[in-house]
């Protein structure tokens, strides 16, 4: 970030008056001039999108190829009964615009691929991994590493979830942490688990955008909602990693 | 002769095997000795930890004394008395 300032309007000062004492006007200006891509408008993407929009992230790009179904609604709280059948990104964009009409929402109804990921990540200050499968997560992780865009990963299953921040060239990436993906069976998920992990993703995203860095790099932070515990699983950068190390682009 | 180690199981593995287990093992012991003890705790649950050959599933994260153990033949890693062995199954949902 440069030292450039973008003075807040009176309306913005009013909207964000309870967080400006925390972030400073300069911090709020930074958020308003930040662009974040949220990959996935599901259980994790819902709280991430709500809280980033509420905090005043200026441009939110949201990606998902699915349509809303009734079985999504126990956890994907950005969608409602009336949205069933609607594109998830359109449903999410409507809700975000209702929450904060002063930000720009860029809904993209697409399935993430090696071909389109560059256009998805390019120009973003940060990317959020709110996806539900590892092949797409690895595509996003590689693109974030290649274009040096910070990435905040999370995943959930039942009462448990994991979150990790990736600062390319500084911390371990998702593939260093999890080189072999777990089996993909649609896991049971409680909405609160996705809510907890998604809120932490949004919190880390805001701190990284503000230039405060992250306390969630080089470790998987693991939430167990039955035991009520957070555990930390240390992760090291793998020099031979296919995504961020010599095993990849070099 | 027996020696003891501490086993920590995270997330789904905590549900299957218990959170922290103080385990007495016939010595010398390897990670495989721990897997055998976990099988006694929950024979059905073992299928989530190991593959058909009885080796740790590739996706399972194994740590000894908070150091990640990578690569093949992780099960044959020798243990020292008092070691802490931890297992975590990465999750996938979103």
Residue A28, CA distances (Å) to A4, A7, A37, A48, A205 in order? 13, 10, 18, 18, 14
| Minimal Cβ distance to A43: which of B11, B59, B94 | B94
Query: For the domain B2-88, what is the CATH code?
Result: 3.10.20.30
| Integer angstrom CA distances of residue A38 from A24, A212, A224, B27 | 25, 20, 24, 51
Whether residue A41 is preceded by a cis peptide bond, meaning omega within 30 degrees of 0, is: no
pLDDT tens by residue, A25-54? 999 999 999 999 999 999 999 999 999 999
Contact yes or no for A157 and B61 at CB 8 A: no
For residue A126, the number of C-alpha atoms closer than 13 Å in the C-beta half-sphere is: 33
Quick one: pLDDT at residue B74? 94
Three-class SS state of A118: helix
Residues of chain B found within 8 Å of residue A240, distances taken between Cβ atoms: none
> Domain ranges in chain B?
2-88
Q: How far apart are CA A16 and CA B73, in angstroms?
A: 55
Tell me the nearest-neighbour CA distance from A159 into chain B, angstroms: 8
For residue A5, the distance in angstroms to the closest alpha carbon of chain B comes to 36
Cα distance from A204 to chain B (closest Cα, Å)? 17
Domain A34-234 has CATH 3.40.50.720: yes
With bands split at pLDDT 50, 70 and 90, how would you rate the model's confidence at A246? confident
Instruction: Check CB contact under 8 Å for A132 and B92.
Output: yes
User: Chain A to chain B, count of Cβ pairs less than 8 Å apart?
Assistant: 89
Choose among B11, B63, B66: nearest Cβ to A224.
B11
B63 CB neighbours in chain A (<8 A) are: 233-234
* Residue pLDDT, tens place only, B5-36: 999 999 999 999 999 999 999 999 999 999 99
Domain residue extents for chain A: 34-234
Beta-carbon separation of B93 and A162 below 8 A: no
């Amino acid at each position: 970030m440069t030292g450039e300032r973008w003075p807040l309007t009176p309306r913005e000062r009013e909207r964000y008056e309870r967080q400006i004492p925390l972030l400073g006007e300069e911090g709020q200006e930074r958020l308003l001039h930040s662009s974040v891509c949220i990959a996935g408008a599901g259980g994790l993407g819902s709280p991430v999108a709500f809280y980033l929009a509420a905090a005043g992230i200026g441009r939110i790009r949201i990606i998902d190829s699915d349509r809303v179904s009734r079985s999504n609604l126990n956890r994907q709280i950005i969608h409602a009964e009336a949205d069933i059948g609607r594109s998830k990104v359109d449903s999410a964009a409507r809700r975000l615009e209702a929450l904060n009409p002063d930000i720009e929402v860029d809904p993209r109804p697409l399935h993430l691929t090696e071909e389109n990921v560059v256009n998805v990540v390019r120009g973003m200050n940060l990317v959020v991994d709110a996806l539900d499968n590892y092949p797409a997560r690895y595509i996003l992780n590689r693109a974030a590493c290649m274009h040096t865009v910070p990435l905040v990963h999370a995943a959930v299953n039942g009462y448990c979830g994991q979150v990790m921040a990736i600062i390319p060239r500084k911390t371990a990436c998702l593939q260093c942490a999890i080189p072999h993906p777990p089996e993909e069976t649609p896991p049971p998920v409680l909405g609160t688990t996705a809510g907890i992990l998604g809120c932490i993703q949004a919190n880390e995203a805001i701190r990284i955008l503000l230039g405060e860095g992250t306390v969630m790099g080089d470790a998987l932070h693991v939430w167990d909602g039955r035991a009520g515990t957070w555990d930390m699983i240390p992760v090291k950068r793998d020099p031979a990693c296919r995504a961020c190390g010599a095993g990849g682009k070099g | 002769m027996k020696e003891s180690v501490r086993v920590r199981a995270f997330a789904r593995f905590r549900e299957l095997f218990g959170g922290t287990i103080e385990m007495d093992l016939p010595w010398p012991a390897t990670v495989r000795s721990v897997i055998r003890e976990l099988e006694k705790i929950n024979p059905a649950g073992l299928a989530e930890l190991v593959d058909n050959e009885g080796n740790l599933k590739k996706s399972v994260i194994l740590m000894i004394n908070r150091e990640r153990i990578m690569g093949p033949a992780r099960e044959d890693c020798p243990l020292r008395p008092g070691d802490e062995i931890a297992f975590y199954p990465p999750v996938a949902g979103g």
